[in-house]
C-alpha cells in the first residue's frame, strides 16, 4: 500500500490523516512538536468515535490510529511516495517547509499542496522539482466533504496529476479541475463573502447570529458565513484574505479589522473554543 | 436528579443558541439552525458535565435529538455505572 506523508497536524492535517488511514493508507503525520502530535491523535480518536453520530461511517479509532505513525520534522518522510502538505496559510512557513521537503523526498515522490489561496506555481518554484508539485484544496471537515479542487501548477507533470487523482479516488473524493489562480474558485468567492460578513458585524449592521440566519433562512445554506469562519478558523480566513489582497493588489480583498483583532485575541473559532460564537471545547 | 440533568442540558443549548425557544421534547435538529456539528459539542458537554463516557453503541443521533432523550441517556449511563 502507498505510504503517504502528511505535513502539519492542524485542523486540515488531522482530517487528511484520518481520511487516508480510514481509507487503508499507511500514513505518516509530522509536525514541529510532540505535543501537537499528541493532540492530533486525541482529536482523531474523538473524531472516529463520533463519526457515525456526525453522519459518517462507523470507524474503529484503534484501527484508524493503527495506520498512522507520527514524527517531529519532515525528515521522517524520506520513504513517503506522496506527501500532502497542510501547514498554515503563511507564505514564509510554506516556503520553508517546501524547501526542506525538496531535500528530504525522493525525486519520484509527489507533493500535494493543500492550500486555500496560495498559487501552486509559486509553491512549486521553491524546490528543484516543480513537475511533481500539484495543488488540492480539501474542504473542512476533510473526511465529511466528498469534493475537492484539483489544481495543477504551470510545470505540473500529467503523471503527477494522475497519481493524485488515484489517491483522491482512494480517499473517496471527487476532484473538480481548476486552473491555478490565487483562491481558485471556492475561496475567491467564499473569503470575500466571509470578509464582508465580518464587516457587517464590525459596523454593527447585524449580529453574527443574524447574518448567519439570513444565509440559512433566505438562501437555504446549511451554515452561515460566520459559522463557517469559526469552523475553518478565523485566523485562516484572515491569512487567506491577506493572500488574495497581496496577490491581486485589489482593494476588494482588504481584510476586515475585526478579523485581525479576533486573530490577535486568540478568537480563532471552534479550535480555540471561541470565535464569532462560543463553543464547549468540542474542538475540530 | 433527572430534572437537574434536563435543566443543565437545556441551559447549555440555550446559552449556545440564545434565539432558541425549546422545550424538553423538541427535536433540536429540526429547528433549522442547529446542525450535526453541535451534536459533537453535546457529547463533549454531557461527558464532561456528568463525568461519564458515552459508549460507542449509544452515540446515535436519536439519543441527542431532544433534552429528554439526552437526560434518559445520562440516567442510563449512571445506572450502568452504579450496577457495575
Three cell numbers at A274?
Answer: 471561541
Is residue B36 scored above 80 in pLDDT? Answer: no
From chain A, the residues in CB contact with B33 under 8 A are 212-213, 216
Among B40, B41, B61, pick the best mutation site for testing chain A contact (most A Cβ within 10 A). B40
Residues A138, A116: contact at Cβ < 8 Å?
no
Three cell numbers at A91?
Answer: 507564505
Of A118, A184, A125, the closest CA to residue A155 belongs to A125
The pTM of the full predicted model, rounded to 2 decimals, is 0.83
- ipTM of the complex in this document: 0.75
From chain A, the residues in CB contact with B73 under 8 A are none
Three cell numbers at A235?
Answer: 485566523
Fold of A186-272: 1.10.1040
Is residue A214 scored above 60 in pLDDT? Answer: yes
Among this protein's residues, is A137 annotated catalytic? yes
User: What are the pLDDT digits (tens) for A82-114?
Assistant: 999 999 988 999 999 999 999 999 999 999 999
% chain A with pLDDT above 70:
99
User: What are the pLDDT digits (tens) for A148-200?
Assistant: 999 999 999 999 999 999 999 999 999 999 999 999 999 999 999 999 999 99
Rounded to an integer, what distance in angstroms lies between the CA atom of residue A198 and that of residue A192? Answer: 10
Q: Where are the domains of chain B?
A: 2-83
Of A109, A187, A110, the closest CA to residue A148 belongs to A187
CB contact under 8 A, A216 and B43: no
Residues A87, A115: contact at Cβ < 8 Å?
no
Cα separations (Å) of A86 from A3, A111, A127, A197, B47?
17, 11, 17, 26, 31
Name the DSSP letter for residue A277.
S
Of A279, A159, A174, the closest CA to residue A231 belongs to A279
Name the DSSP letter for residue A280.
-
Is residue B84 scored above 60 in pLDDT? Answer: no
Per CATH, the number for A3-177 is 3.40.50.720
Return the beta strands (E) in chain A as ranges. 3-7, 26-31, 68-72, 82-85, 110-113, 133-137, 147-152, 174-177
CB contact under 8 A, A231 and B37: yes
Fold of B2-83: 1.10.1200
Of A185, A177, A175, A133, the closest CA to residue A155 belongs to A133
Amino acid at each position: 500500500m502507498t505510504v503517504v506523508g502528511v505535513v502539519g497536524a492542524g485542523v486540515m492535517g488531522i482530517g487528511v490523516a484520518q481520511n487516508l488511514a480510514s481509507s487503508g493508507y499507511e500514513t505518516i503525520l509530522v509536525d514541529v512538536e510532540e505535543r501537537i502530535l499528541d493532540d492530533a491523535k486525541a482529536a482523531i480518536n474523538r473524531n472516529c468515535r463520533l463519526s457515525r453520530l456526525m453522519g459518517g461511517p462507523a470507524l474503529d479509532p484503534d484501527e484508524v490510529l493503527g495506520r498512522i505513525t507520527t514524527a517531529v520534522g519532515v525528515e521522517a518522510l524520506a520513504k513517503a511516495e506522496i506527501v500532502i502538505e497542510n501547514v498554515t496559510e503563511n507564505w514564509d512557513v510554506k516556503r520553508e517547509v517546501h524547501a526542506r521537503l525538496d531535500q528530504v523526498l525522493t525525486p519520484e515522490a509527489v507533493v500535494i499542496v493543500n492550500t486555500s489561496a496560495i498559487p501552486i506555481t509559486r509553491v512549486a518554484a521553491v524546490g528543484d522539482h516543480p513537475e511533481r508539485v500539484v495543488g488540492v484544496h480539501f474542504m473542512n471537515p476533510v473526511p465529511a466533504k466528498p469534493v475537492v479542487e484539483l489544481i495543477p501548477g504551470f510545470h505540473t507533470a500529467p503523471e503527477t496529476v494522475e497519481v493524485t487523482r488515484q489517491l483522491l479516488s482512494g480517499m473517496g473524493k471527487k476532484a473538480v479541475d481548476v486552473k491555478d489562480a490565487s483562491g481558485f474558485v471556492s475561496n475567491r468567492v467564499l473569503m470575500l463573502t466571509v470578509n464582508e460578513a465580518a464587516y457587517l458585524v464590525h459596523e454593527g449592521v447585524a449580529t453574527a447570529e443574524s447574518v448567519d440566519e439570513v444565509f440559512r433562512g433566505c438562501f437555504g445554506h446549511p451554515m452561515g458565513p460566520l459559522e463557517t469562519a469559526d469552523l475553518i478558523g478565523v485566523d485562516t480566513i484572515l491569512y487567506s484574505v491577506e493572500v488574495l489582497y497581496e496577490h491581486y493588489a485589489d482593494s476588494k480583498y482588504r481584510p476586515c479589522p475585526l478579523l485581525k483583532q479576533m486573530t490577535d485575541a486568540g478568537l480563532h473559532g471552534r479550535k480555540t473554543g471561541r470565535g464569532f460564537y462560543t463553543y464547549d471545547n468540542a474542538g475540530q | 436528579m433527572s430534572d437537574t440533568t434536563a435543566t443543565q442540558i437545556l441551559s447549555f443549548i440555550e446559552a449556545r443558541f440564545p434565539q432558541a425557544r425549546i422545550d424538553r421534547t423538541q427535536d433540536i435538529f429540526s429547528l433549522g439552525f442547529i446542525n450535526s456539528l453541535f451534536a459533537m459539542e453535546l457529547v463533549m458537554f454531557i461527558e464532561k458535565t456528568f463525568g461519564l463516557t458515552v459508549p460507542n453503541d449509544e452515540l446515535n443521533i436519536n439519543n441527542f435529538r431532544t433534552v429528554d432523550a439526552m437526560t434518559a441517556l445520562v440516567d442510563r449511563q449512571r445506572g450502568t455505572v452504579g450496577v457495575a
